[in-house]
Structure 1
Amino acid sequence: MKKIKWLLLVVGLLGGLWLLSPFMLDFAGRVLIVQDKLRPADLIVVLGGDGNGERVATGVRLYKQGLAPKILMSGGPLAWQLTYAEWMKKQALASGVPAAAILLQAKSLSTAEDAKYSRQVIEPLKIKTIILITSPQHTRRAARVFRKIFPAPDYEIMVYPAQPSAFKVDRWWTRYEDRALVVWEYFSSVLYFFKGY
């Protein structure tokens, strides 16, 4: 009789976890995404690292809406002596952004370096308000890093996810690409936590 009670308890607990798992998985994906309310800023910073140009397209759209007079493309080596920053600049130029409105930071190889090297470009320009564009699943970590490198009250960082995005938070665990992105983001977030971000 005792064994049956334990078996029923274990089966009940496992069944409960199974029923709750979609909600927990959904939460795990959504908690990665940060979207601040936007207002006009001094600069839009677009982080490199997405292969389909969704971050640049979002930055260009916000630029054309008049949310900032300049865009900083941030990203280091890509391939064949081409950097993410240069590749993103080409996309922005093709989308109608004038060359005079585009700044480049082409040394970074990580989110932390994006922030550090971008600050070297931004500091002399007396910029105080920044709209930060990255992929949805990357927004929370990028926000933490940039807000550490650009601390308040000297700077204000408004984070905005690329829209539309290849990353789909709804049922992300059912698609290989989205699973890989979420797992990578959690791994990177833990790593960055131990680095002090």
Structure 2
Amino acid sequence: MKTVLLLTSFTLLFLLIIWFVFYIKGKKFALRDRLHKADAIVVLAGTRGDIRFLDGKLRTAVNLYHQGWAPFLVCSGKFSVKVDTKAADLIPLEELQKAAWDGRIQEKDIPNAAKTWDRNLAASYLRREALDMGLPPEAILVEDESLHTRENAEYVLDLLKKHHLSRIILVTSPFHQLRTYLTFAKVFQSHGIEITNFYADTGEWHPATWFLSKEYRNLVSSEVSRIKIYREKGDLL
């Protein structure tokens, strides 16, 4: 009996250690700082094919606004990956080709983008939903031209400078928060913009349980690869 209990205890301890290791890894991606008053809450479009990620980001950002953490909501992004084929408004091929010609996206990404990049789930979607959640129109700022995270940061910076805002709360999906922060910090570093991270409550991906899902393990693997690629390009802090 004692041997069985000892083995059971060791097994539980081993499982707890494994869980803790994965939890710490999840926390490295899902950044959440101590909140303090800011000038604007910035929320990014993007679904990764799951509308819960987009809606979760918006709910989190709107809740922060209603709690009084900032007087403005900034909605950023030209598209999200489609979740409803019939309702999608895809970016035209000619526009994507021009973006590639201008160096904004890679030419190899055009075929997939033409099939999946939905303008109906962009910053304008976030604005409409935010209005329905009780935000006044004058509290919402929109940039709907960015095609990737670095452009999110660059175009948001233009808005912040235009409205003389210097402190933001940055909200995106938990698995995307680290790369988003590193990108924004790189773009903002010489402009004195203060960033507070606050990963979104998506209702699905969580730093304590993400590793139990193959889909979410793949998301983290994708983020690890992207961080490496973009750091080599010099796009990250």
Q: TM tier, shorter chain?
A: 0.7 to 0.9
User: What does residue 13 of structure 1 align with?
Assistant: none
My pick for the range that moved more, 60-69 or 75-84, is: 75-84
**Residue 46 of structure 2 contacts residue 79 of structure 2 at CA under 8 Å; is this kept in 1?**
no
Q: Which amino acid in the other structure matches residue 179 of structure 1?
A: R
Q: Give 2:164's aligned residue.
A: 126
**Alignment partner for residue 136 of structure 1, among 142, 164, 174?**
174
Distance of 1:26 and 1:43 partners within structure 2: 30
Aligned partner of 2:27: which letter?
A: R
Q: Is the 8 A contact 1:168 1:178 kept in 2?
A: no
Structure 1 vs Structure 2 CA RMSD: 2.0
Residue 36 of structure 1: aligned partner = 33
1:117 maps to 2:114: no
Q: Is the 8 A contact 1:75 1:109 kept in 2?
A: yes
Among the aligned pairs, what percent are the same residue?
Answer: 33
* Cα contact 1:73–1:105 (8 A) shared by 2: yes
- Which stretches in structure 2 are left out of the alignment for 5+ residues? 1-13, 81-87, 90-118
The equivalent residue for 1:15 is none
SS in 2 for 1:158: strand
Letter in 1 for 2:124: E
Ranges in structure 1 where 5+ consecutive residues have no aligned partner: 1-17
Asked if 1:70 is matched to 2:80, the reply is: no
1:142-165 Cα shifts (integer Å, max 9, x gaps): 111111111267110111011253
Distance 1:96 1:76, change over 3 A: same
Q: Deviations over 1:79-103 (max 9, x none)?
A: 4143510111111011111111111
Q: TM-score, normalised by structure 2?
A: 0.70
Q: How does 1:12-23 map to 2 (within 5 A)?
A: 22-23=19-20
Check if 1:173 corresponds to 2:211: yes
Amino acid at match of 2:213: R
How much does 1:72 deviate? 0.5
Amino acid at match of 1:124: K
Q: Which structure: greater strand fraction?
A: 1
Counterpart code for 1:61: N
Q: How does 1:51-130 map to 2 (within 5 A)?
A: 51-52=51-52, 53-78=55-80, 79-80=88-89, 81-130=119-168
Amino acid of the structure 1 residue aligned with 2:79 = P
- Residue 29 of structure 1: how far off its partner (Å): 2.2
Post-superposition Cα deviations, 1:95-135, rounded to whole Å, max 9, x if no partner, equal 11111111111111211111011112221111111111111
In 2: Cα distance, 1:58 partner to 1:171 partner: 19
Are 2:220 and 1:182 equivalent residues in the alignment?
yes
Give the Cα–Cα distance (whole angstroms) in 2 for the partners of residues 108 and 60 of structure 1.
Answer: 21
Q: Is the 8 A contact 1:83 1:106 kept in 2?
A: no
For the 8 Å contact 2:57–2:202, the answer to whether it is kept is: no
Give the number of equivalent residue pairs. Answer: 180
Comparing 72-81 with 142-151, greater Cα deviation is found at: 72-81
